[in-house]
Structure formats: structure tokens, C-alpha cells
Structure 1
Amino acid sequence: MLFAIGFGIHGLDHLRRGMDASPMAIMIGGNVQAVFVAIAVLMAVTHRYRAPEAAIGIGFGSAVVFVYAHLLPTFWADYQDSYISLPHTGVTWFSWTSAVTEICTGLIYGFVGVRALRARKSPSAPVSLGVRAPGTTR
């Protein structure tokens, strides 16, 4: 849930800055990412067997994409909304805070997924993300 909140806070910054402040590819990518974030979090909440893999892929993937899109200088303007390179339209302290929050919660979500995957492979370890083996009941 923390990851979804971090992602949502960053989305609020995009709304605050205006939808035309970012290239179209960033806006489309963010919407596609929102679907994947929702699916990954729903998988964790409903204790799906593949939730750890989803957390790893979406958590770490989101962190990498956000670092590229916002924290690096512009390499490909159509695919970045750099907070460092001009024009960085409407970027404020809230933009930086929301991006760093999303990156950090993505990393945490990925590491929780790694831990849950390891716990699933070790029967004596506690299971996080609420993951159960296939065929088991509550």
C-alpha cells in the first residue's frame, strides 16, 4: 500500500504541474505504469502466489524508470521530464519530494518482494506480502 501511496503522490504532482508539462510519452507511460502498480498491489493484498515477482518487477522497474525520467539530465527529450535540465516546467520542492518518495517506495516494494520470494522457498521463514503456496487455504 505504501508503494501505491508513493506513486499516487507523484501523480498528484503531475496534475499540479499540468498535463502539458511532461512529454506525451511520459504521460502514457505513467498511465500504463498506474495499471501495473494497481495490479501488483492487488496481487499482494489478495495473497496471490506470484505477488513477490510482481513486487520485484514493478517496484524495482518503477524506481529505475523514475530515476531515468526525472533525476537524470535530458538524453531523449521525448522520453524524459528531467527535473535537472531545462525547461523543467513547474518543478518545485514538492516535485522532488514526490519523485524521491515514489523511487524509495518502489525500492522498498521490490525488496519486500525479494524477501517474500526467499521466504516462500524456505518453509521455516516467515512469509511476507501474505503469500501462500498454491492450493493452501486461509
Structure 2
Amino acid sequence: MGRLDWVRRIAAYLVAIWCVWRAGDACYGAFLGQVALIGAAALSIGLLTLALGLLCMNRYARRVAAAFSLLAAIIIPLGVINPFAAMDYPGESPTVMSLLAWIIPAVAGLLLLAWLLDPPRNPTLGHGN
């Protein structure tokens, strides 16, 4: 097993740990009465199933996690840089450069995570054959 395979396995394990943490947080919120019990149960079942699949290195679980990573990489910039988000800040809104200072590394990290979780099948990327 090469180094890249170890990095991919570690990335899958870290996402699985995050899924378990988020499922526990949803259950805790339901216990305190902050969120709906049915929603927390559904979220916990889905996340724990995804975490189990990631721990077993299931191809479909890794593909679902990569899809969520890509979705987050698209939604985060759209949710932060829009004219309606400027109303959420009291007083002066942040500059575009200060927002890009954390958005660009976050999106790059999410894209890297998606590539690590679900690498392309053809190493030549479709050229040739």
C-alpha cells in the first residue's frame, strides 16, 4: 500500500469520525430539546451509516462523502459572498479580500478531500485508450 493510499484511508477515517461526532451532537441537541427528535434520529442514522461505510472503505460511502464535499465547496462561497449576507454583519461588512482569505483555502481543502475520497478510475484521465 502506497503513501497516497494511506492518505486516502486517513481522510476517510477523519470524515467518519466527523460523522460520528455530528450524529452525537444531533442526539445531544434532541436530548436537550433544541432540535426535533425525528430529524435528529434521521440525521444520526444517515451519518452513522455513512461513517460505518467509510470505516469499511466502501466505494459508495466514499463517493457519497465526496459528493457532499463537492456540494459544500459550491455552497460555502455562494452563501458568504452575496449581497444579502452583508446585512448579517453589524456595522461595517467585511471586505472581499478578508472573506477570500478563508474561503479559498476552505474550498481547496474540500476539493482535495473529494479527490482523496473518490479518485478518478482512469489514471490517464480519459486521454488515450
What TM-score do you get using the length of structure 2 for normalisation? 0.39
| Bigger relative contact order (CA 8 A; separation at least 6) | 1
For the pair shown, the structure with the greater C-alpha radius of gyration is 2
Q: Which has the higher helix share?
A: 2
